[in-house]
Structure 1
Amino acid sequence: MSSLLKGPGSTKFADRWPDMQPVVLKLLKQEHVTRDEWQNLFWDVHSVCSWDEKAAVRIQEALRNEILRFISEAQGRVMKHREESALLKAYISEWTKYFTQCDYLPKPFQAMEIEGGNQKPKRKNQDGNRVQLLMLKSWNGSIFVAVREKLLSASMKLLYAERNGEAFDSQLVIGVRQSFVNLSTEVSNKLRIYQENFESSYVEAARDYYASHAPAYLTENGVQNYMKYADQKLWEEDRRATKYLETRKGCNSKQLLMETVVQVLVKDHATTIVAECPRLIANNDVEKLNLMFSLMDRIPGGVDPMLRDLETYIVQSGLDDMKANADIITTDSEKYVEELLALFNRFTEMVVKAFGSDHRFMTSRDKAYKQVVNDTSVFRLDLPSNKARPNAMMKTHPESKCPELLANYCDMLLRKTPLSKKLTSEETEAKLRDVLVVLKYVQNKDVFMRYHKTHLTRRLILETSADSEKEENMVEWLRDVGMPAEYVNKLARMFQDIKVSQDLNTEFKERQRGSSMAEMVNMKVLNAGAWSRSSERVPVSLPMELEDFIPGVEEFYRKKHNGRKLHWHHIMSNGVIVFQNQTGRYDLEVTTYQMAVLFTWNQRPEDSISFESLRLATQLPDPELRRTLWSLIAFPKIKRQVLLCQPPVTNPKEFIEGSLFSINQEFGLVKGGKLQKRGKINLIGRLQLTTEKTKEEDNEGIIALRVLRTQEAIVKILKMRKRMTNAALQTELVEILKNMFIPPKKMIKEQIEWLIEHKYMKRDGSDRNKFIYLA
């Protein structure tokens, strides 16, 4: 019968321990304990601790002796194994059973945690369970100390074998790891024993293994095969770490291991690995580049040499391709833009496939491609430097011709051309958006703006747009890519003027109903602020029919818009005249200047007229007359010219006062080798919108506008900041102006000096590199 049925009995430790000891041994040995024995053990411990203040110390000492005796026996069973694998199995078996009892044996002795009778139990985990700590410390101080080195050595040998591809029981290493993890008795650092022993040995073993194997593999197999080897080993070590190392939250064993392995496999050989990068980029070997990237990205700054190699390749390859095709693409904007887009797509595809669209490589692509787009070695546009001082010599500042060629390509897509006719609406839109992609990398966007506006002006005046909806969409797309609002708004106003002019023409023809001239005339009233052409007026003697018609138009407009003044820009005008000779009858599309020249023969079609006489008859300035006559005797798109010249010349500069011009009586339209008796011939070509003088003004105007924009931006920044350093001012200035152009440092310096001179700002008296805004 159990002691519970015998009453309280003795409460002395010496009397009760003989009853407790057999049950303790059974628990340690994992032998069967009856329910009565289990309950009596609880009662005995409680009874002794309740009446004997020193009982807890005595019980703990007795338990220590029993535990140490049991551990000694377990140690004997483990140490009798000489073979390492058998020793590991024996140790793990003994430890597993013992650690299980670390949960069960302390339960009956919980009364020991109460000190002084009615005192409350200590806070949980303050010092840990006494018996459990006793068990762990006893194991740690005896068997573990004796076999620790053997356990580590055997475990690391097993891991060495696994790294060599040999099979073994992985539970042996896992069991050793768990014993190291669970042995710690420190509440603040439960993993100290594991970290100081198993973790450090594991990391050191991995370092030693790869330090001895990696160099030999690299030497024997080369860089490209070594990269595959390193990548495979890193993947293996990652999986192995997940399996064998502690991965609980707050434990960085895996990170420490991978950093060590990366150091040995990658960082120690980084120079040799990245030396292969230029060759792989040149061969477009995206698979190996991707592998190199995945390896080098594991170390700080590892991809920096790859970024430099990519930039160098893109710049060199891009410029080589452009120079190789220079003869074609310098004269054909379509080929030029297609070549630029092909380069961009090729480089982008490489970055996507080889580097996973990593933002650092995308940035390198952008930097390098920007150099290609803005290069001046093949395509250059010479702009005059700013005349900073009245006596300064005029110099030219070379810039990329890319924005001009982009504008020309846009014109080909938006105008009625063979290219635009063979493209669908979707294809045209895709190509226009491709242009915007390239435009993003252009530094002198203001040049593109000027040329694009010139082409748009020509298309709107000649009514040669292939798709008016695409024209207006293009304006909005320019707004979307960050073009200045002021520029985009002016383009939008141009469309508005054309629509208003259409309504104006309709009303005018209604009022002039019955007038054949009114039916033939299509006038366009354009706002000077939006179209902003040169104010230069070119004198010309118009045909009598037009001269007589103009006052009626002016009178109509004056009545409709009181106070507005019309200025006639004949250089932008054009029309259709009927040309008839012995060959046939043809409709000629001509400029106003061509019309003025041809009407000279209206009353004398068989005569020859000298250059001097033509100048007097048309009143055209010498440069414009020469250019107009040349377009009539050497128009490139027709086989039979309208005019003949004697003596023959090779360029308009060879015209002399005595040069004689006459109507070509054999002029006609030839199609498919056959002479046509009827047809329409366009002699306008690219409508002349400026005189020779205003072309120079356009280029100078680009620079003048840049100067103005730079001054405006400097004043705007200082007005907001009040006081700032030179470096900060320049940084913010470039940020504001980058969507139009990148101001050179020389220009910035000149404009700062100009603004200081004109009292918009001043230098700080104590720091010359600091500027102060003057209200």
Structure 2
Amino acid sequence: MLQAGGGGGGGGVALPCFEEKWPVMRGVVVRLLQQEAVSQRDWQELFYCVHQVCLWDERGAAKVRDALQADVVGFIRAAAARVLSHHDEHALLAAYIAEWRRFFAQCRYLPTPFRQLETALLNKTSSSTSTSTSSSAASPSPSASASSTSGAGANANANSTSSASNASHQLAHKRPPHDDALVRKLMLDSWNHTIFHDIKQRLQDAAMRLVHAERNGEAFDAQLVIGVRESYVNLCSNPDDKLQIYKENFEAAYIQATEQFYKLKANEQLQANGVQAYMKYADNKLQEEESRAQRYLEPGSRSVTLLTRCCENVLIGAHLPTLLAECAPLIRAGETQQLHLMFRLLNRVPDGIQPMLQDLEAHIVSAGLADMVAAADIITQDSEKYVERLLELFRKFSTLIKDAFQDDSRFVTARDKAYKCIVNDTTVFKLELPSSINNRGNKSTIPESKCPELLANYCDMLLRRTPLSKRLTSEQIEARLKDVLLVLKYIENKDVFMRYHKAHLTRRLILDSSADSEKEEDMVDWLREVGMPAEYVNKLARMFQDIKVSEDLNNLFKNSTTRHDAINIKILNAGAWARGSDRVSVSLPVELEDYIPEVEEFYKKKHSGRKLQWYHHMSNGTITFANAVGRFDLDVTTFQMAVLFAWNERPQERITYENLRLATELSDPELRRTLWSLVASPKLKRQLLLYEPSVQASKDFIENTHFWINQEFALIKNGKPQRRGKINLINRLQLSTEKSQIEDNHSIVQLRILRTQEAIIKILKMRKRISNSALQIELIDILKNMFLPTKKMIKEQLEWLIEQKYMRRDDDDINTFIYMA
């Protein structure tokens, strides 16, 4: 410490300089570099000396920096000599890591006393700030000494001393957080240029050889590799990219060595062991390398991701065609474990999964259709077996997706697309629907899947009193109905299902043949939940309401007539029930004919202004048949009843076909169909009617074909005729005439045409102007829950709407349509 000299009136003051202070400072610096003990007094003295030189010596800061760098470089050169004295690779690495860790430890401590250097070199602070900063070094004497050497008066000195500790505390928080960065950078850069630059390649090569040895199963000290990596990471002094040296050297070398290693090994494994064994090898190595990378590469950086991507490219991407060639055979063989392994591997690389999806979709379509074709003889005759076969296929493919691909959404979508092809396929059986009905009356047909019709038949078997529904519990029936809804989701022409389902529901409600009325109403709710068109579902709901209203009317009618046990009327809304306006003319038995005026008169009293229309083809009844064998109750249709009553007054006579036609007034098609149900009922071993001459089908009946009552008719049970019994001859209640049955398919198409026109106008009203492609996308989205319109149908309806002035094409772009209000 320099003392101010006394003298006469204007004596000079000797200021502290670098040459005087550096020997004191250097001793502490050397001891710090060599990790020797430094007393608290020496440590605080170093702070103060740096402060004094930087404050009073104009070039002091630069001289301190240069001298410090010289001592640091000298220390590093000594360390380099010690490291390079080792010729063994492991010893070299161990020596380097030890020297580096020793040096790096001092990089955290040595810069602290030299914080003033950066501030002084950049001229960013005033002398008052410097004084306060020196006080923050926790040295009690520098404040007083600085005051005495400043030449200031006694009052100034007193003020400075009294406030020193307070100022020190306040400014300690305002100091920049990296004000020792200059010395730290100096030390790291010195290490980089003095030893690291010359030895880094040897370090890298040695570290990579150690990793290579580990990959080959050899033992070594993993801390050597970790130590090298840490030196690369901590050595960089670039504030913008702290990992620059590590990424440019260690990371790049590690990834390159990994790529070279597995390029050779992968080819050897694949050629020696085949694809399936190679997949296990690749999967194991990928897991190994990810675990190894977590140890040897810098955590928190992108190194592990880059290394993993490199391994994926070498082990999977380079052999992608070979791996994919094995996919289809594995799917066909149902090798779920191997497929899961392949999925796990190929999911790592771009576009690796897409070919697997295509293979899976192709397999499901081909295997599913082959299964359906093989069982065609069975499933075409039995809707239950058909639906069960479809559900079995769905469960089989779903299990494959779950076990092999963990229900990955992409594979589930592929399954759905393929299953949709199976459900809507027309190979096994098909429904011929007109493709269009244009204004010229020309008609052409295209095949559609018959699956909707068979699904509706299966629902009917579950909801009606049948042997199937009787042997199942309520929970089992519900589960099977839910299965039907599952298949229904994949059907394109849902409008066909709804038409047949409504027909079956009509029969069940009219004949009171539902097994469970609650299940009937539940089914309507489930159809709504799965997205069936609201207008269809609402019509079904109205049918239940009509039945309840009709029951009330029937009770009132029975109370108003004395013959209440003989008749049960159902007065229903034609809009919800009828399938056509055509009614069948028939000469009813007198017993029924007498009721009609009475019912109509009763209804007029309840609802004035309404008109009843009688649909005799939807009616039925029970008659008692008596002969020498016994008495039997027969459930028959109104048409069957009209035919049988022709023998009511002459049971022994033979009646010709022509006379029966005159007696019943039935049309030729209806009479033939009714007679055939009485002469060739599959339920009866002894037919109710006999005829001659014998024919193969009802169309072969001629005018002189004779029919007569079988006086030996009886119900046969266990090979013996019964004296009493009841049998249902109605089978499937006829809901429409022969003519309307032929036109049913055309009405489906006509309704589709109207729905398509309606949807197009709805879109145009909203958009006002729309391109052809956008219109078709929106149109399909609206109609997909009913049916999928063909391109031909869309084109025809667009042209028709243009002709009718509902819309027009844009004058400048014929593919753009404009709404015309």
| TM-score normalised by the chain length of structure 2 | 0.92
1:368 aligns with 2:418: yes
Bigger mean CA deviation after superposition, 202-211 or 105-114 = 105-114
2:58 counterpart residue number: 53
2:214 counterpart residue number: 162
The one-character-per-residue Cα deviations of 1:298-323 (angstroms, maximum 9, x if unpaired) are 11111111111011101100100000
1:30 aligns with 2:35: yes
CA RMSD of aligned residues (A): 1.7
1:87 counterpart residue number: 92
Matches within 5 A, 1:527-676: 527-676=573-722
- 1:123 shift after superposition: 7.3
- 1:642 shift after superposition: 0.6
Q: Decide which of 204, 208, 215 is 2:267's aligned counterpart.
A: 215
SS at match of 1:750: helix
2:158 counterpart residue number: none
CA contact (8 A) 2:420 2:491 kept: yes
Matches within 5 A, 1:81-480: 81-115=86-120, 116=123, 118=126, 124=176, 129-248=181-300, 251-392=301-442, 394-480=443-529
1:704 counterpart residue number: 750
- 1:164 shift after superposition: 1.2
Structure 1's consecutive aligned runs of 4 or more residues displaced over 3 angstroms after TM superposition are 3-10, 119-128
Percent of residue pairs bearing the same amino acid type: 60
The one-letter amino acid paired with 1:765 is D
2:141 counterpart residue number: none
The one-letter amino acid paired with 2:798 is I
1:485 aligns with 2:534: yes
1:758 aligns with 2:804: yes
- 1:37 shift after superposition: 1.7
| Number of aligned residues | 767
- 1:543 shift after superposition: 1.0
Q: Distance in 2 between matches of 1:187 and 1:383?
A: 76
Quickly say closer, same or farther: Cα 1:709–1:391, change in 2 above 3 A: closer
Q: Distance in 2 between matches of 1:83 and 1:9?
A: 57
Bigger mean CA deviation after superposition, 125-134 or 493-502 = 125-134
The one-character-per-residue Cα deviations of 1:461-510 (angstroms, maximum 9, x if unpaired) are 11110111111111111111111111110000000111111111111112
The one-letter amino acid paired with 1:769 is N
Q: Distance in 2 between matches of 1:82 and 1:163?
A: 24
Q: Distance in 2 between matches of 1:459 and 1:628?
A: 20
Matches within 5 A, 1:707-718: 707-718=753-764
SS at match of 2:433: strand
Bigger mean CA deviation after superposition, 237-246 or 556-565 = 237-246
Q: Distance in 1 between matches of 2:692 and 2:530?
A: 54
- 1:126 shift after superposition: 6.9
Q: Distance in 1 between matches of 2:578 and 2:307?
A: 70
The one-letter amino acid paired with 2:485 is L
SS at match of 1:518: coil
- 1:518 shift after superposition: 2.0
The one-letter amino acid paired with 1:289 is L
1:724 counterpart residue number: 770
SS at match of 2:565: helix
The one-character-per-residue Cα deviations of 1:228-249 (angstroms, maximum 9, x if unpaired) are 111111111111111111122x
Quickly say closer, same or farther: Cα 1:301–1:125, change in 2 above 3 A: farther
Q: Distance in 2 between matches of 1:477 and 1:5?
A: 102
2:171 counterpart residue number: none
The one-letter amino acid paired with 1:641 is Q
CA contact (8 A) 1:494 1:531 kept: yes
CA contact (8 A) 2:620 2:638 kept: yes
CA contact (8 A) 2:462 2:468 kept: yes
The one-letter amino acid paired with 2:77 is S
Quickly say closer, same or farther: Cα 1:5–1:568, change in 2 above 3 A: farther
- 1:391 shift after superposition: 4.9
Uncovered stretches (5+) of structure 2, i.e. residues with no partner = 6-12, 131-173
CA contact (8 A) 1:760 1:773 kept: yes
- 1:118 shift after superposition: 1.9
Q: Distance in 2 between matches of 1:284 and 1:6?
A: 98
Bigger mean CA deviation after superposition, 271-280 or 533-542 = 533-542
The one-letter amino acid paired with 1:448 is F
1:749 counterpart residue number: 795
The one-character-per-residue Cα deviations of 1:620-644 (angstroms, maximum 9, x if unpaired) are 1111111111111110011111111
The one-character-per-residue Cα deviations of 1:357-398 (angstroms, maximum 9, x if unpaired) are 111111111111111111111110011232213152x32211
SS at match of 1:114: helix
Q: Decide which of 782, 795, 807 is 1:736's aligned counterpart.
A: 782
Bigger mean CA deviation after superposition, 342-351 or 317-326 = 342-351
The one-letter amino acid paired with 2:189 is K
Q: Distance in 2 between matches of 1:565 and 1:303?
A: 66
The one-character-per-residue Cα deviations of 1:164-200 (angstroms, maximum 9, x if unpaired) are 1222111111111110011111111111101100010
Quickly say closer, same or farther: Cα 1:383–1:185, change in 2 above 3 A: same
Quickly say closer, same or farther: Cα 1:138–1:628, change in 2 above 3 A: same
| TM-score normalised by the chain length of structure 1 | 0.97
Q: Decide which of 14, 19, 35 is 1:14's aligned counterpart.
A: 19
The one-character-per-residue Cα deviations of 1:418-461 (angstroms, maximum 9, x if unpaired) are 11111111111111111111111111111101111100101111
- 1:127 shift after superposition: 7.8
The one-letter amino acid paired with 1:232 is N
CA contact (8 A) 1:475 1:491 kept: yes
SS at match of 1:396: strand
Bigger mean CA deviation after superposition, 543-552 or 42-51 = 42-51
Quickly say closer, same or farther: Cα 1:246–1:672, change in 2 above 3 A: same
Q: Distance in 2 between matches of 1:493 and 1:6?
A: 114
- 1:102 shift after superposition: 0.3
CA contact (8 A) 2:617 2:638 kept: yes
- 1:111 shift after superposition: 2.3
The one-letter amino acid paired with 1:118 is S
Q: Distance in 2 between matches of 1:288 and 1:456?
A: 48
Q: Distance in 2 between matches of 1:10 and 1:210?
A: 69
CA contact (8 A) 1:4 1:40 kept: no
